[in-house]
Amino acid sequence: MLAYVQSVAQVSAGTILGITMLTSSLVAGGLVGLALSFRNLPDVRVLRNYIPSETSYIYDMDGTLLDSLHDEANREVVDLNQISPNLKRAVLAIEDSYFFSHHGINPSGIARATLANMAEGQTVEGGSTITMQLVKNLFLTPERSMSRKVAEAVLSLRLEQVFTKDQIMEMYLNQVYWGHNTYGVQTAAKSYFNKPASELNLAESAMMAGLIQAPEVFSPFVNYQTAKQRQLLVLDRMKKIGWITAAEAEQAKATPLQLGEITSFRASQAPYITDAVIQELTSRFGKEAVLQGGMRIQTTINLELQRKAEETVREGIASIRSQGVYADQMALVAVDPRTHFVKAMVGGVDYSQSQYNRAIQALRQPGSAFKPFVYYTAFASGKYSPDSTILDAPVSYPDGDSYYTPQNYDGGFAGAMTLRQALAQSRNIPAVRLGQEVGINRVVEVSRTLGIKSPMEPVTSLPLGSVDLTPLEMAGAYATFASGGWQSETTTIAQVTDSKGNVLLDNTPRPQLVLDPWAVAALNSAMQDVINRGTAASARLDRPAAGKTGTTSSERDIWFVGYVPQLATAVWVGNDNYSPIGKGATGGGFVAPVWRNFMLKALSGVPVENFKPMSNFVKP
């Protein structure tokens, strides 16, 4: 009986071996012939220039991650030598342990799968190698048919003729899907374990390798116990084939795992900023490049300062509403005058309620905050100084078929006064007179020089802010005053590189002197009086500061824009439907305190600097 059983066993083993060898021969020989008939298959050589879609990352000035941008594929590509050896071995052990000995297909593996599927009457086991999986992901549809399987095998043979094993392994590990819209080993490692792929230990590597076959089902974020079972399976497989010792397997099984978080489609840390950055990059490079190009975008933003700006806006709008008037929105933009880098930007009170970025999209009238452009133009003409006299008295100017008669906010007249006094008290009639004397077209030219790009008509009322501008434009223009007339392009982006470090955009400041130094010093002197003894006393700081209030007719828009040598900030308050904020709502009474609150936070620990006096320069 024992001899019979041994005989049957030998026959069975021989039969299986024969079937395996026959199947292997048929498969190998058949594929060579079929390769000739699959001439319409893709040319695998295109992968020499293949660049997979990559996630783009947005950082603040200090390297803190603000946001990540991607389509469906959240991926960061890395070189093979940047991937932990633990992970490479774990993936090979569970997916294709004969990877380095076959030539793209594994006939014995196919034979085993064929026998198992025939026995069950359905597909219960696959014979795909890593090369075949890569081919399927890059070139073929997910359908399960014999013709597609043969095409997969043919392309795998071709792929192994063109690329080395290391190249194929690198492409595979960067291409494979790991669940939760996460593609590639680097992004998956950062998501599952909050570390780069190079730092994965054996326990982490085994768990990640175990996810590949069904990442959403096996994910530890979905079911940790299932993921743990898959990890044990991988470790046992590695031990069985001798790639780790029993002791190493047991140690890995007992190693505690600290999970990260799902990183795909997470919210931005500074959404108004990142929206502005995306808008600028999309207009320059196109949407596809931004979402799939693997850009590394260093913004000009300081996240700590951004947090202070957001806090200031929340506190400010609550304070304004508590004073018996109603404003539904506020915007704040802070610009460094030395670089014209935007350091903070808040486009609204609550991004979750409204994604409209009023800092860069809302065109609102600046009111008297526009007057400094007129006063600078007067000083730059060489005909005026802050102590020159101007008349605050009734005046009318032709305006089409009628006349334009400007009025002061209080309805009265102050008579003869210095330009310094007129600006500090925000008298309207002197500003209109000055605009006519220096020429409205010249005021428009100066505004363009200061970076104002919004449409602007040379109307008589322009000195009173009868033009629609954005808070970003106002902050950038005032930053040029703060810098003594030196200007770079105002931007939210410092630099953009690709994932390899190649520079795509470099916004290193290149300051140019665009204003007359004496005229700027004269304006800075007069605008300090606005805070020290004028309409913006509530903006006073513990250091020299200059600025200007702005209030439009019917109190629809109220502003304060001010600066010290190190920072210029514009704050706007209003309603999106242009309804009045309330009687008596002025920039000096309501917005200047908000500006002061932010500047005190922003300048904490920053040394006090003085503006350069007029005596340092020659009058034009």
Catalytic residues: 95, 368
- The CA distance from 365 to 278, in Å, is 26
- The CA distance from 439 to 443, in Å, is 7
Quick one: tokens of 202?
């054996």
Torsion sign across C-alpha atoms 15, 16, 17, 20: positive
- The CA distance from 546 to 532, in Å, is 9
How far is C-alpha 552 from the geometric centre of its chain's CA atoms?
34
**Cβ atoms of 571 and 475 closer than 8 Å:** no
3 state DSSP class of 537: helix
Buried b (16+ CB within 10 A) or exposed e, 546-569: bbbbbbbeebbbbbbbbbbbbbbb
**DSSP secondary structure letters along 229-264:** HHHHHHHHHHHHTTSS-HHHHHHHHHS--------T
**Cβ atoms of 579 and 552 closer than 8 Å:** no
Residue written as token pair 């006094």:
421
**Cβ atoms of 59 and 273 closer than 8 Å:** no
**Cβ atoms of 154 and 135 closer than 8 Å:** no
* Distances from the Cα of 344 to the Cα of 272, 285, 310, 352, 536, angstroms: 10, 24, 9, 18, 22
3 state DSSP class of 305: helix
Give the DSSP letter of residue 462.
G
Torsion sign across C-alpha atoms 439, 441, 444, 450: negative
**Cβ atoms of 101 and 302 closer than 8 Å:** no
Q: How many CB atoms lie within 10 A of CB 12?
A: 10
Quick one: tokens of 34?
């079929």
Angle formed by the axes of helices 592-602 and 303-321, nearest 10°: 150
Give the DSSP letter of residue 557.
E
Quick one: tokens of 426?
């925000």
Count of positions (residues) in the chain: 620
Residue written as token pair 């992004």:
187
Give me the phi and psi of 364, to 5 degrees please.
Answer: -130, 150
Quick one: tokens of 176?
């494979």
**DSSP secondary structure letters along 326-366:** ---EEEEEEEETTTTEEEEEE-SS-TTT----TTTS--B--
- The CA distance from 320 to 313, in Å, is 10
Quick one: tokens of 539?
């903006």
Residue 310 Ramachandran class (φ > 0 left, ψ -120 to 50 alpha, else beta): alpha
- The CA distance from 387 to 375, in Å, is 12
- The CA distance from 27 to 21, in Å, is 10
